[in-house]
């Protein structure tokens, strides 16, 4: 899929033969391209890597979807049952490859879009891409991914730290850390799972630096996936969900206060709305209770080759892994259009398009408790419907 192919004859050309350009060949971009084709609209996917699903290929080895296979399939092709209930990273990649092939999506790889702006005649969009390309489309779908650019906090002294330091995006497995003392920074899903992977994979000592205690949920309880609850409550008032989640959490997960991980003092759904998704337990609770993963205070600085924590203590780990998240990195691409909020996130997503930038769509930039794959699948249909309406 290194070059584009002409659209099948049954597809209707867009105005002035301008396709809809989809930026990014991850799950959101592929789903949007299929939904557009299903409505007879030519969609061309532009991907900077040499294959689809580039971000997924770079995740750590033990990663599995925290959402069920049945609720993670994209439109037009279900995930195979043989992948199991919790689909592995490698099988997600296989599924995305099959999805693009099955739907004969028009994908151009090795093309990075740097900037999107209105076309000169004001009727479409001009994309400035690598190699000096200038592409004109009738609409644009931005699907460059939630986990785009690693974010590392501006810790004092970090630039001068000469120890083994890396972002979680570079972590693959525990083998290089066997017999070593490792500090994992950040207690989101990635940090929690990497800490467990290290503890199970032979690290001599694993500590997890936590700034704000996360809500921890069982991925499944008596066969009922946490995602199902997320789907049911997503449209309910935030305060109501917070009140319901409190007693449920106390019944399903133990109190780890004695181990340094107290229950959060902010409601679960309130935290979700602030951007903090609950941690799906894939072994963290057991590892903390058994002392295999030690919880320590947040990192404040790096000084004299040591890591300084918020409680004043100093650590000298053999390696530091920063599971500190990612940025969307959309400023250069569309920041000049006034379509991002103060945190650099799109002000609209799915089938909605900014009033001042009609024809510009975003997908995959939210992380809902109902499941990102599920929401991208729904967004794809909404985007296609909106584009079809505007072209009419």
User: Do both 223 and 316 map to the same domain?
Assistant: yes
Instruction: Say what the alpha-carbon torsion angle 91, 92, 94, 97 is, to the nearest 10 degrees.
Output: 180
Give the pLDDT confidence score for residue 33 in this predicted structure. Answer: 98
User: Do both 176 and 56 map to the same domain?
Assistant: no
Q: What is the CATH number of the domain that holds 170?
A: 3.50.50.60
User: Do both 315 and 167 map to the same domain?
Assistant: yes
In a domain? residue 319? yes
CA 179 vs CA 182, 202, 227, 317: distances in Å: 9, 6, 36, 12
Q: Where are the alpha helices (DSSP H) in 181-281?
A: 189-200, 226-233, 238-252, 268-273
User: Do both 198 and 250 map to the same domain?
Assistant: yes
Distance between CA atoms of 365 and 349, rounded to whole angstroms? 8
pLDDT along the chain (392 residues), means of 10: 41 64 97 97 97 94 95 97 97 98 97 95 92 95 91 95 96 98 96 98 98 92 89 91 87 91 91 87 96 97 97 97 94 96 93 94 91 95 96 83
User: Do both 114 and 197 map to the same domain?
Assistant: no
Give the pLDDT confidence score for residue 2 in this predicted structure. Answer: 41
In a domain? residue 9? no
User: Do both 298 and 353 map to the same domain?
Assistant: no
User: Do both 41 and 93 map to the same domain?
Assistant: yes
In a domain? residue 6? no
In a domain? residue 8? no
* Residue whose token pair is 């109190």: 255
Closest CA to 232 of 369, 27, 40: 369
Q: Where are the alpha helices (DSSP H) in the chain?
A: 27-38, 54-57, 89-102, 189-200, 226-233, 238-252, 268-273, 284-289, 331-334, 372-391
Give the pLDDT confidence score for residue 251 in this predicted structure. Answer: 84
In a domain? residue 361? yes
Domain encompassing residue 367: 15-148+328-391
User: Do both 197 and 303 map to the same domain?
Assistant: yes
CA 199 vs CA 39, 193, 293: distances in Å: 49, 10, 7
User: Do both 127 and 223 map to the same domain?
Assistant: no
Q: Which two tokens stand for residue 87?
A: 């689909």
User: Do both 128 and 164 map to the same domain?
Assistant: no
Which domain-ending residue is among 303, 325, 347?
325
In a domain? residue 2? no
């Amino acid at each position: 899929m290194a070059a584009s192919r002409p659209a099948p004859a049954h597809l209707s050309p867009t105005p002035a033969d301008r396709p809809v350009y989809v930026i990014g060949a991850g799950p959101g971009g592929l789903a949007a391209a299929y939904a557009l084709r299903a409505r007879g609209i030519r969609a061309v996917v532009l991907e900077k890597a040499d294959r689809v699903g580039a971000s997924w290929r770079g995740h750590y080895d033990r990663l599995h979807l925290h959402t069920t296979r049945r609720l993670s399939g994209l439109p037009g092709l279900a995930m195979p049952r043989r992948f199991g209930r919790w689909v592995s990273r490698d099988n997600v990649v296989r599924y995305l490859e099959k999805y693009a092939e099955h739907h004969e999506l028009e994908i151009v790889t090795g093309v990075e879009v740097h900037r999107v702006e209105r076309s000169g005649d004001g009727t479409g969009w001009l994309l400035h891409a690598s190699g000096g390309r200038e592409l004109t489309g009738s609409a644009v779908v931005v699907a460059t991914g939630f986990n785009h650019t690693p974010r590392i906090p501006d810790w004092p002294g970090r630039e001068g730290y000469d120890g083994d330091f890396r972002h979680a995006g570079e972590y693959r497995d525990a083998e290089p850390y066997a017999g070593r003392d490792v500090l994992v920074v950040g207690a989101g899903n990635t940090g929690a799972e990497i800490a467990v992977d290290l503890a199970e994979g032979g690290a001599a000592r694993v500590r997890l630096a936590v700034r704000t205690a996360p809500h921890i949920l069982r991925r499944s309880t008596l066969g009922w996936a946490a995602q199902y609850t997320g789907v049911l409550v997503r449209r309910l008032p935030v305060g109501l969900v917070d009140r319901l989640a409190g007693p449920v959490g106390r019944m399903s997960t133990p109190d780890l206060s004695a181990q340094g991980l107290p229950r959060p003092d902010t409601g679960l759904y309130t935290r979700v709305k602030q951007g903090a998704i609950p941690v799906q337990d894939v072994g963290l609770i057991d590892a903390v209770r058994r002392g295999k993963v030690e919880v320590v205070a947040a990192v404040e600085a790096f000084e004299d080759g040591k890591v300084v924590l918020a409680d004043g203590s100093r650590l000298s780990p053999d390696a530091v892994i920063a599971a500190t998240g990612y940025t969307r990195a959309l400023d250069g691409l569309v920041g000049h259009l006034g379509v991002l909020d103060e945190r650099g996130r799109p002000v609209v997503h799915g089938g909605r398009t900014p009033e001042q930038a009609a024809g510009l769509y975003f997908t995959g930039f939210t992380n809902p408790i109902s499941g990102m794959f599920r929401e991208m699948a729904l967004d794809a249909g909404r985007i296609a419907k909106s584009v079809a309406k505007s072209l009419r």
